[in-house]
Amino acid sequence: MGSHRRFASSGFDRGAAALCVLSAAAAALGAVPAHAAPHTDTSAEVDRLYQEAEQATQAFDKARERAGTLRREVRDAQDHIARQQQRINTLREQLGSLAGAQYRAGGIDPAVALLFSGDPDDYLDKASTLDRITSQQAGQLRELQSALRELAQERTETAGKLAELDSSRKAVAAHKRTVEKKLAKAQKLLNLLPAAERAAFGRASRSDDSGRMDLSYLSDLTGAGAPDARAAAAVAAARSALGRPYVWGASGPSGFDCSGLMQWSYAHAGIQLPRTSQEQRFAGRHIPLSQARPGDLVIYRSDAGHVGMYAGNGQVIHAPYPGAAVRYDPVGMMPISSVTRP
């Protein structure tokens, strides 16, 4: 397990990159033939739907992870409550033996009768009665008092967790419906495209910025290796997943979404990354893109909705989108918001 702190982004020249992107995009749009506009519009709408589905997928992943955590916490709390109740029952039995002995001797002392009032606090608050029981009995009663207080507190906390779990389950279901709706609409639009254009849609990026960012300085990194053994192990794991399908909400081993692939790969290196790309953005130290090394997490778009792993030679390994397998793509396939070194 690795521990991470949130670091402030060191940043890089987003303004220059954005200007380059906008200029190139404007030039490219001017070159689009009029007859191509309908199909271009369809592709752009599919891109948008995929991006929205990915955002919903990350929300689904987060809600499902929280639900899993709450289920474990509730289960542990219920087990502890059961043990605490057994402890209380045992204490009452021990204290009850005192009452039984006194009854057989000819009656129950009023002090002992208080044991069965259901309110040990009332008993202990009456200091005048404490001289009627032994120090051992007083200690047992105080232990019972403490156990009852702890049990009441644990039951209250568990009730709150159960309510949160119910809300989290509903959030999971809502995000799942959103993802499925977006993906179904995207697939319907893709089916409207001619076969050749539909086949060509499996490109590197779902962004109009594809391939237009100036990343020439990355040529200096072609021979750079992973910064440490853990990063190297994560890269090796990611490479072993090449060709496996994108499956939204999945974190391996047979399928992955983008953040699930990063989490699975780094788990093989002994580091537990958070589940979503938004959280993975802060799971280490931010570095400039020009200093990227294999194993670094490349976070895309301003919403941090997509993540890939830098693999060297100006490429990332990532799970792109539904219908595409885990693969290599150019690191500049879409706008980069930050680079994180776990």
The catalytic residues are 258, 306, 318
- How far apart (Å, rounded) are the C-alpha atoms in residues 25 and 30? 9
116's tokens? 């069965």
Residue 25, φ and ψ in degrees, nearest 5 = -65, -40
Helices (H), the chain: 14-30, 37-104, 110-113, 120-125, 135-192, 195-200, 229-240, 258-267, 277-280
Integer-rounded Cα radius of gyration of the chain: 31
Q: 207, 221, 185: which is closest to 293 by C-alpha?
A: 221
* Sheet of strand 327-330: strand arrangement: 285-287, 336-341, 297-300, 306-312, 315-318, 327-330
Listing DSSP states for 41-89 in one string gives HHHHHHHHHHHHHHHHHHHHHHHHHHHHHHHHHHHHHHHHHHHHHHHHH
> Can you say how many angstroms the Cα of residue 10 is from the centroid of all Cα atoms in its chain?
24
Residues in the chain: 342
Amino acid type, 168:
S
